[in-house]
Structures are given as C-alpha cells and as structure tokens.
Amino acid sequence: MSFGVDLWDQYEVVKKQVHTSFHELREISEFLQKVSKLQDNFGKSLFKLTQSIRPSDIEGTTQNAWGALITTLEGCANSNIDYAQHIFSEISSPILSFKDESSPTRKELFSTCDKKTRELKMLKSKFETATQKSSKADSDVDGFKGSNDSKSQAKLDKLKKAAAKATDEKNTAQSNYESFKKSYYSEIIPKTLSELQKLEEERMNLLKKQFEKFVEYSKTKYISSLDQLIQRFDTTVCGVNVNKDIESFIDKNKTLNRNPVVQPKQVQEKPKIEFEDTNESQVQETQTQSPPPVITQDPLPQQTNPMISPANQVLEEDENDEDSSESEGEECDFLVKAFYDYAGAEESDLVFSQNDIIRVVRKHSTGWWEGIVDGKQGLFPSNFVEPLDEQQKTSDVEQINIGDKCRALYDYSKEADGELDLKEGDIITIKGNEGGWFLGVNEKGIEGTFPGNYVEKV
C-alpha cells in the first residue's frame, strides 16, 4: 500500500497528517529534554545530599551497612546524572535534529504541490465558467425569435458568432484542464505523496529506533547499574551481625577492673531447709552449687524472765553478763564477697545478691554476721559469703602513698560525718593514710575518709 496509489485524491489529508506528525516531533523532543532535566536535578540533589553526611567512626557491621547505604545512594545519584545526559544527547537531540533537517524538504514538497493544486483548481474553475458561458450563448441562439428582415438576421448572426466563440473558449478551457489534470494526478501527486510517505516512514522509524535505544539503555545501563548497587547493599545488610557488633564493642572497651555491681543472673531456687544446728566447720563450707542451709541459731539469744530466787540471783547475774557479751558480738572491719543471693527472712536481715561486696562490722559466735552493703546494715548468715584476699588488699593499700591518685573499685556510702562517699570509677587524690583508712579528695573537691581496700592505685 502507498499514499500515491491508495490516497491519490487525498493530498490534503496526507498533508495534514505529515504536518501534525512532524510538529509532534518537537513536542516529543522537548518532553524528553524535560525528563532529562528532572533526572539530572534529582541526581545532583541526591549526590549533594550524600556528600553532606558521613558515618561516625563507630565500628561494626551495622555501621558498615549505614555507610553502604550512603555509597549506594551516591551511586544511584551518579546513575541518574548519566541517565539524564543519555536521554538528552542520545534520545532527544536526534529527534529534534531530524525534524529540523527534514523541514526544507517538507516545505518544498508542500509548496510545489500546493501551487499545482491551486493551478488545477483555477483551470477547473475556468472550464466550468466557459461551459456555463457556452451554454448560455447556445440558449440565446436557440431562443431567438425574430422576423426575416435584415436587422433580425444580423442580430441572429451575432448571437451565433458569440455562441461559437463561447464554444471555442469552453473547448480550450476543457483541454487545458484535462491536460493539467492528467499531469497532476499522474506525475505531481504521486511524486509528492511518495516523498511525503517516505518522510513519514523515516519519522516513524526514527521514533522506533529512539524508543528502542531508550529501553536498551534503561535496561542494560540505568536499571542494571541500580540493580547492581542494590544487590551490593543487600549483601552488606545480610552481613549485619548485631551480636558480633556488641561483642566487638565490649572487647574493645572493657578494662580489667573488677566490677562489684551485681549483673543480672538466673535466680537459683533455694532448697528446703531443715532447721538444725550448724557448727563452725559447716559454716566454712561454701563450695556447693546451691546456697547452704541458713544458720538457724538466733544471732541474738532470746531473753526470758524466769522467777529468780535470792539463792541463785548471783548465778543468774553472771549468766546474763555472759549472754550480753555474746549478743553484742565482736566488732570488726573487713570485706567479704557474696557467694549466693540472700533475700533475708526478717526486717533486720541484710539483703544482697551474688557477687555483692559486703563490709562486715560485727561477728556473732552464732555464725551470723552484721554487715553493710549499699548503705544498708543488717544481719546475714556467714556461710553465704567468703572473705576477699585480705593479704593482697593489704599489699595494695601499702603501695599507695600520699599524693597518689586512686580509682574506686566499689561504691561506698559514708556511715559517719567526715567520711567520703565513693562511686565506682571515682578518682581520688590521697592526702593521708592511717590504719587502713585513707584521707582523700575527689574530683569535685570533696574531702573525707574511706576504707583503703575500696580503691586501687591508678
């Protein structure tokens, strides 16, 4: 099928089609240029954003993923910038160039064919006018009704002469019209329509080619590059190991200092306890997996008020003196470490957790001791604790001199005026040492005394 054969009489329709389609080439090109500009602006804005932020120096797989996200988006930004440039130079520009380059040819074809079309219409109009004039002249001759006198005969001859002339003009106009019409439809129109069809085919093939280039670049370059970026980022994200990051941070920052603060632990279920006397050797045994039986002997013997006869009054007074001495216990001052949790049974008991550091201030012969932890004082069974290495502590204390700086190993709540509260990690400058107690001043300028075995030399 072709324009010249199948649309031989539809030049105006073809002309409108070609004119509209080539005008649309400019719209397509300008549209793609706007797309290119949007892609370019987005890419540059995204790139600028990625350059405005940098991950901190925190280490770990999670931080690596954060850095990889920025790198991925930076790559996406560059891909968008390249994509924008490709759309402009390789897709949009050739379309506009073809439109502009083909413009002279189209204009020449339209101009020539329009001129010939106007000429054909003019010849047709002349032929139609001459035909009407000839018909009228013939009608005038046929309709003349005059006498046979010379005057009438002269008028009739004149009409016949005019009719003959009109007929000649009609025949000439018809000949000119038919001749041009034949040339118009056999040469001018086929050639023009063929050239216009060729231009239209070139236009369509160009658009197809440019659209295919758009798809090909999008698939093999743009989308492919984005897919590779996302796949690399996905691999990094899959490698995030939270536990590893936590452990790595701990390993990097932990110190060898001993921490007296109780860490969360599983609570051991206490066994049922048979109430029986426990001797001193049993109190010392603390190597079992479960807490030992709580010492059942009352730390402070119960006082009774029996009837006292004069005969045994002196004896009773001696016994009361002995009981009073036993109830007061032996004053002391040393540190112990809790082997087990102790929840206490009475309000006067001291509650502590496994690994707590307790300051013992009194020992009762019953096996119950009196101690202080976290500023609270109370009684507890001695077989729940073990003494700290006093020899090592004493050695450490002896190595600390006036002017040295020490770090608090444990918290210490002052129990009397003039003492100094300690928090684990506090730095104290030593100003005096007497009897295992130090006089020191903390970083806030507060001065006071505290036990020497609560600190270590820095």
Instruction: Say if residues 325 and 310 touch (Cβ distance below 8 Å).
Output: no
**Helix, strand or coil for residue 247?**
helix
CA distance 278 to 367: 8
Give this prediction's pTM: 0.50
Q: Which residue has the tokens 């600190």?
A: 455
Q: Which domains does the chain have, with CATH numbers?
A: 3-243 (1.20.1270.60), 323-388 (2.30.30.40), 390-458 (2.30.30.40)
DSSP string, 248-307: HHHHHH--S----SPPP-PPPPPPP-------HHHHH---SSSPPPPP-S-SSPPP----
CA distance 357 to 247: 27
Backbone phi, then psi, for 222, in 5-degree steps? -65, -65
Burial group, residue 12, by CB count within 10 angstroms (0-12, 13-18, 19+) = exposed
Tokens of 327: 């109830």
Instruction: Say if residues 120 and 192 touch (Cβ distance below 8 Å).
Output: no
Give the single-character DSSP code of 367.
S
Per-residue pLDDT of the chain (458 residues; tens, 9 = 90+): 889 899 988 999 999 999 999 999 999 999 999 999 999 999 999 999 999 998 888 889 999 999 999 999 999 999 999 999 999 999 999 999 999 999 999 999 999 999 999 999 999 999 999 999 999 999 888 888 766 778 888 888 888 899 999 999 999 999 999 999 999 999 999 999 999 999 999 999 999 999 999 999 999 989 989 999 999 999 999 999 999 999 888 888 887 655 444 333 333 333 333 333 434 444 344 344 456 655 555 554 443 333 333 334 433 444 455 555 555 778 888 888 898 899 888 888 999 999 898 999 999 888 899 999 988 899 999 989 988 765 445 555 667 888 999 999 888 888 788 899 999 899 999 999 876 789 999 999 999 998 888 888 88
DSSP string, 164-228: HHHHHHHHHHHHHHHHHHHHIIIIIHHHHHHHHHHHHHHHHHHHHHHHHHHHHHIIIIIHHHHHH
**Helix, strand or coil for residue 388?**
coil
Residues in Cβ contact with 446 at an 8 Å cutoff, skipping those fewer than 6 apart: 420, 421
